[in-house]
Amino acid sequence: MRKQFPLPEDDIIFLESQGMEWETVNNQGMHWVILYNYPVPPGYQIDKTTVAIKIETGYPRTGLDMAYFYPPLAREDGQPIGAVVQQQIDGLSFQRWSRHRTVVNPWREGVDDLSTHLSLVNFWFEQEFIKRANAITT
């Protein structure tokens, strides 16, 4: 596994404690953490994906944002997933989910890190079905 730039020690401890296969990649001038075989909850057409998280300059003071998936995720029920685009990362076409923290849930320097961002990614997986259900019933 490539380790092309260092992560904060807390992130490394978290990733290793989860047994995740991961690497850090410098691609097209951007830093990425790439997580392999990341579990996807029921309701999607696949049960594991590769997740890329862009590491901005200044992290961990600067927050993490969005998530990128390869192969692209699709819902089993055929409903579209909103606010997605394709983006090349390390030679693969990842699906970028444009999901962001809010004023109510801002990045908290010294508290938030890769582990809390991945918790947010898991929340987005579930919210996708809540948002679509609300759109259908309203």
Strand order in the sheet with 30-39: 21-27, 30-39, 48-55, 67-70, 92-97, 84-89
Q: Supply the pTM of this predicted model.
A: 0.93
Question: How confident is the prediction for the chain on average, in pLDDT?
Answer: 94
Task: With cut-offs at 50, 70 and 90, classify the pLDDT of residue 131.
Answer: confident
